Amino acid sequence: MNPELFRLLLETKALEIAPENRPFWYTSGTIGPFYLNTHYLYGSREKAEELLVFIDQHQNDRAALLSGVIARVEKNYAEDAGYRTVIAAAAALARREIGVDNIDFVSGGERRDWFFSIMTAKQLDKPALFICKDQSVLTFDRDIHKTKNLAGARVLHVADLVTEASSYVRAWLPALQKCGGELPWAINIVDRGQGGGSVLRERGVQAYHLIEIGPAFFGKLKQDGYLDAAHADRLRAYHHNPRESMKRLLQAQPEILRQALNSDDEKIRKRARLLVDQNVYDFPRAFLESLS
């Protein structure tokens, strides 16, 4: 495990760990003991959110969008030592495990992948591909070009995070294949340890990562004093079986769900209501009725 990247995950708050009785609420209506915002490795939450806002504000002018994103990540690379550390690690991994001469392009998917794919491409001296949400594949060199024929080109995809590889399967891989490209490799800055690497390998993509969230990572957190033994055990239990571990937590502490249903935070309240309405954890009806 790269100690510098481990430190940066915590310093930038790209990884946040919840207290036991205040789990994070995810958009799916499930809960979990930690939250990952890998794009904060760009330097900070503020800088990362600023770049996301820029991307969203320039959706109708892709030339301005891409030129602006490139200029911003280049400027940040020059100014932010932590960001340079992340990019250097990704480029070194590509050189060591893949070989620069084997790579024709480096791609990234809209939006958060671009935080890391653009500068990795520059460090490898390879052209960057921008895969948009509509599955168009763009290149940019003063002018914007829509790529229609990659003619068997071998592409390395650089992503901020892989969980179950749903974005790869739904968008990035089909977009490249439609253009005739091949995707033999992927480098994920963080692998959440929830099966995404296996999904990619089943589709012929060799997946690499800089950091994997899992038992070794939790052990490092405990060793360095960020977690006590009980908290580390809870994270391991979640990693082993996210659904069952969080179901047991809510059954043991139903006030967590009750408080969320009455939260002043509309986002939390809606996610808690989704959990109940869809009975995400298959609770007995009596348990759900007891919450009201």
pLDDT value at 145 more than 80: no
First to last CA, the chain: 46
* 42 and 153 co-located in one domain: yes
Of 213, 240, 258, the residue that ends a domain is 213
* 178 and 149 co-located in one domain: yes
pLDDT class for 20, splitting at 50, 70, 90? confident
pLDDT class for 134, splitting at 50, 70, 90? very high
Give the pLDDT confidence of 210-225 residue by residue, as tens digits.
999 999 999 999 999 9
Check: CB of residue 218 under 8 Å from CB of residue 238: no
Of 213, 228, 262, the residue that ends a domain is 213
The pLDDT of residue 141 is 78
Of 179, 213, 247, the residue that ends a domain is 213
* 96 and 145 co-located in one domain: yes
Three-state DSSP class for residue 128: strand
pLDDT class for 146, splitting at 50, 70, 90? confident
Cα 253 to chain centroid, rounded? 29
* 42 and 166 co-located in one domain: yes
Give the pLDDT confidence of 182-216 residue by residue, as tens digits.
999 999 999 999 999 999 999 999 999 999 999 99
* 49 and 111 co-located in one domain: yes
- Residue 42 belongs to a domain with what CATH number? 3.40.50.2020
* 144 and 247 co-located in one domain: no
* 7 and 49 co-located in one domain: no
| Residue ranges making up the domain that contains 283 | 3-36+217-289
Task: Give how many domains the chain has, as a whole number.
Answer: 2
* 95 and 202 co-located in one domain: yes
The pLDDT of residue 161 is 97
Give the pLDDT confidence of 79-107 residue by residue, as tens digits.
999 999 999 999 999 999 999 999 999 99
The Cα 25–Cα 287 span in angstroms is 19
Q: For the chain, what percent of residues have pLDDT higher than 90?
A: 92
